[in-house]
Structure 1
Amino acid sequence: MNRRHDIDALRVLAFGLLILYHLGMLYVGPADDWKFHLKSSYIGDWLEYPMLASSFWRMDLLFLISGMAVHFLRGRLTLPALAWKRTVRLLVPLLFGMAVVIPIQPYVQGVTDGLVEPGFGHFLLRYYTGGPWPAGAFDGWQFGVTWNHLWYLPYVWIYTLLLIVLLPALESSTGQRVIAAIHHLRGWPLLVLPALPLFAYNLLLAARFPQNHALFHDWYAHAGYATMFLYGYAIGTHQGLWQELARLRHRSLGIALFCFTTFVVLDRLGDLLGMSSWSASTHAAFHLCEHALHFVYMWSAIAAVLGWGHQYLNRPFRWLPYAREAVFPWYILHQSVLLAVAYWLIPLKLGPVLEPTLTLLGTVGGCAVLHEYVIRRTRWLRPLFGLDAVPRAASPSLSFTEQTQRA
């Protein structure tokens, strides 16, 4: 199987966008609507729409790419071997991250909010014994410990195991007909139909099960993310479907821009007109239209990313092998480094330009130094960050299938 450089590159870029998104969470307002573990004093309401523009599809794209990874691995491994490999790759870094990397996050949140006493060593002793904590001390205080941004790992693990259980059905004649129907989507149906189940989940589940990233009682998130994961498995490397996504890249980008622009106009219009005076039916119709735009935008944006990526990123960039190895350690590290840097910088009141600039540089520099000089050079530490204990020799024939074992 030829290496899919475009999918490698999209995975790297998607996790890079995650770093920028979490940086934005420090500064986006209104603060009551955009809660985060730590907030700067330089809040900008103008950041809300740029943040929404990526938040509507960013995690969905990552789950879709994770589903592709299972597709690529399926041809090389038995089902038990696949389940074991993904369990080790995902849960070992999760447990290590929760024990070693994550604790700085609840600490800075609790100290900043005045619910945790300063002193990181004392905090760790209490954290490792499960608290108890004052109500609201940090996100996940009810459980004593937290996985914060690493919630993505147990979700991918659960979806992988569920998909493995479903594989005999998916590989049956009936299942292959369903996947073939997806492969034969062309034109407008490819840009609209995959959004419909996601829109239906929103109507049926969103109000009853708000996203909590706690794994349990998170049925709305599971419905959407598991569907995207399944889409990724179904898309796989089907050449005809990828060629169609590339052919439609201008159209999908246009639909995405139109839908998001219309969403913003309607949202601002609702604020200006004062929706509290509207009738219940008008209010419901308005929100139904907004939600429909949200999900058509989400899928068309993902289709545009896949199409443009396949057209221009499917080549062996010199930076890609190193970035492919670095992406998982950077993902595990980035939010803890970000919050540690911000916790130190925010009290200095450096201004709305210098503070975020230094926070970003400190985050990128911290992740780069820890990955290059500590993680990748320490054999026993590498598996704790999702890497092979012994680095694989770079080879032009090494396929994306093999590389995604690190995902």
Structure 2
Amino acid sequence: MTTDRRYDIDWLRVIAIGLLLIYHIAIIFQPWAMFIGFIRSNETLELLWQPMTMLNVWRIPLLFYVSGMGLFFAMKKRNWKALLLERSKRILLPFVFGFFAITTLHMFVFQKYYNMPLNYYPDSGHLWFLGNIFVYVLLLSPLFFYLKKHDNGKFRKALSKVMSYAIGPLFISVFFMLEVGLVKPQIFEIYAKTWHGFFIGFLAFLFGFLFVYSGKSFWQTVKKWKWLYIGIATILFIIRFTGLESISNMYLMSIESNCWIFGVFGLGYHYLNKPSNLLSYLSKAVYPVYILHMFVLYLGALFILPLHINPWLQFIAITVFTFVVCFIIYEFMLRRINILKPLFGLKWNYRNTNKLRSNQVTKKAETL
């Protein structure tokens, strides 16, 4: 199995979370924001939503693809027991903690903004994604370990062969179209806490693993044909954006979603597969930032929306506030306080803790 570090996948994860933050901030300035539990600005920016309609069919599936790929690399030095323990610490613990302690914070801010009685509402909130991922790990680990054991089997060779053609990656869109036909979602872009979100995430997670498992053929294909995939996605987006109801439907949106993602994978593999100090920092920060961002975003809205300034300036100010405050919390609290690290998916540095304790004992002995 491939064991080389894939910096482009790390970059795509960072970029996808960054786009998620901007997407959530854009919702504040839409007239329907309150219907999905967001603070709503009195001044709407419906023009802002136009680029978001391009993002919203592939931003979440991309994260599930990347998560499946991440599991491939997590398995390379772990048996099934070690993997489940590691995923429990990395995903389940932050999910449970966030369910009871993090999502409630932004609900308090929501209630404060609208002068509602303050009530405690534990909920998965935006962390529903983590719950889904952990379930996928439990369901798919037996299959993935079987495939790992038969690394040179006929299935991998056949998969690698299929993925060497431009049509190969596109073929999997059939499964996503079947999901649309069976689940029949009312709105394609509603993923959170829906069966549509669960099954589309399941498929993306599964194929994300399989793409890395297939070897270099998939990556060479998306690198070679990236502009073809982006071109197809652009055409399908124009059809959807212009409201050609007789042509546009969720089956085509499934194809559009995957074409955007394959184009992004091709661009990432071509331009981003190299190490950097910035990536090393951001790849560690992005997970706790994701966990925190809704609370900070709502806090920014609480302070900035009442200001009598242009709504575009409000959008920019909330965006800057969200990113800056999230990274300040990460840098000066989560990164430095060991007891908080596992609650936000960070590794607890046991060696440094033990070394610090040892130094304290030594200093104490010297003073005696």
Q: What's the TM-score, normalizing by structure 2?
A: 0.87
Q: Is the CA contact (8 Å cut-off) linking 2:74 and 2:83 kept in structure 1?
A: yes
The CA deviation at 1:168 is 5.1
Runs of 5+ in structure 1 lacking a partner?
A: 118-122, 128-143, 271-285, 394-407
> Which whole-Å CA distance do the structure 1 matches of 2:265 and 2:102 have between them?
32
Deviations 1:221-243 (A, max 9, x none): 22211010000111116112211
> Which whole-Å CA distance do the structure 1 matches of 2:152 and 2:197 have between them?
24
> Which whole-Å CA distance do the structure 2 matches of 1:321 and 1:199 have between them?
37
1:364 matched to 2:339? The reply is no
Matches within 5 A, 1:264-283: 264-265=241-242, 267=243, 269-270=244-245
SS of the residue corresponding to residue 274 of structure 2 reads coil
> Which whole-Å CA distance do the structure 2 matches of 1:5 and 1:353 have between them?
34
The CA deviation at 1:356 is 1.1
Q: Cα 1:182–1:358, aligned 2, differ >3 Å: closer, same or farther? A: same
Q: Cα 1:231–1:187, aligned 2, differ >3 Å: closer, same or farther? A: same
1:223 corresponds to: 199
2:296 corresponds to: 337
Letter in 2 for 1:20: I
The CA deviation at 1:357 is 1.4
The CA deviation at 1:333 is 0.9
1:15 corresponds to: 17
Deviations 1:314-346 (A, max 9, x none): 011221111111011111111110011102221
Matches within 5 A, 1:3-402: 3-29=5-31, 31=32, 35-113=36-114, 116-117=116-117, 123=118, 126-127=119-120, 144-167=121-144, 169-170=146-147, 176-184=153-161, 185-207=163-185, 213-214=192-193, 218-236=194-212, 238-265=215-242, 267=243, 269-270=244-245, 286=246, 289-390=248-349
SS of the residue corresponding to residue 77 of structure 1 reads coil
Runs of 5+ in structure 2 lacking a partner?
A: 353-368
Letter in 2 for 1:310: Y
The CA deviation at 1:177 is 3.8
> Which whole-Å CA distance do the structure 1 matches of 2:350 and 2:274 have between them?
22
Q: Is the CA contact (8 Å cut-off) linking 2:26 and 2:49 kept in structure 1?
A: no
Q: Percent identity?
A: 28
> Which whole-Å CA distance do the structure 2 matches of 1:246 and 1:180 have between them?
20
Q: Is the CA contact (8 Å cut-off) linking 2:230 and 2:260 kept in structure 1?
A: yes
- How many residue pairs align between the two structures? 347
Deviations 1:20-50 (A, max 9, x none): 1111111134x27974421111212223331
Q: What's the TM-score, normalizing by structure 1?
A: 0.79
The CA deviation at 1:376 is 0.4
The CA deviation at 1:348 is 2.3
> Which whole-Å CA distance do the structure 2 matches of 1:388 and 1:173 have between them?
31
Moved more, 252-261 or 171-180: 171-180
Q: Is the CA contact (8 Å cut-off) linking 1:28 and 1:46 kept in structure 2?
A: no
1:140 corresponds to: none
SS of the residue corresponding to residue 347 of structure 1 reads coil
Letter in 1 for 2:192: H
Moved more, 180-189 or 362-371: 180-189
> Which whole-Å CA distance do the structure 2 matches of 1:376 and 1:62 have between them?
24
The CA deviation at 1:61 is 0.7
Q: Cα 1:353–1:199, aligned 2, differ >3 Å: closer, same or farther? A: same
Q: Is the CA contact (8 Å cut-off) linking 2:191 and 2:198 kept in structure 1?
A: no
Deviations 1:108-159 (A, max 9, x none): 3334455x32xxxxx3xx52xxxxxxxxxxxxxxxx4212111111110000
> Which whole-Å CA distance do the structure 2 matches of 1:245 and 1:53 have between them?
20
Q: Cα 1:330–1:257, aligned 2, differ >3 Å: closer, same or farther? A: same
